[in-house]
Copies of this chain bind each other. A is one copy, B any other.
């Protein structure tokens, strides 16, 4: 898979799904679980993918837990009125920590909207690749 001209490393792969780090993360480790087959919305998901979804989601979450702990937000937006921007089904997994940049005083918040003023992390491609290597156990 490519993002512009730069290959994006898979941090997880199963028969029908794969995962990459979000290139525009809201927290470190923000990942996307993506089906290999193309469909847009959650209700478009074929039976074969439904059967594997929970297994894939669990495996990816465990991988993230090893590095970031087990606090996370999981989110999917299906349909333009739910603020879906990329018309290919994907699930966000967003690791969370006390006092992280989504933390606001004594409350945690998850805000995902199309034109939010919320600042993304903006890691460099190298930083993203390093984290992908950490998650996959690759040395390089």
Chain A: how many interface residues by the 8 Å CB criterion? Answer: 53
Copies, count: 2
- Chain B residues near A41 (CB-CB < 8 A): 70-71
B43 touches A75 (CB 8 A): no
A49 touches B54 (CB 8 A): yes
Interface 0/1 of A47-64, CB less than 8 Å to B: 101111111011001100
B61 touches A70 (CB 8 A): no
Q: How far is it, in angstroms, between the C-alpha of A112 and the C-alpha of B114 when the chains are bound? A: 15
- Chain B residues near A91 (CB-CB < 8 A): 74
Closest 10 CB pairs of A and B: A71-B79, A53-B54, A109-B113, A83-B108, A50-B54, A71-B81, A74-B76, A82-B96, A81-B96, A107-B115
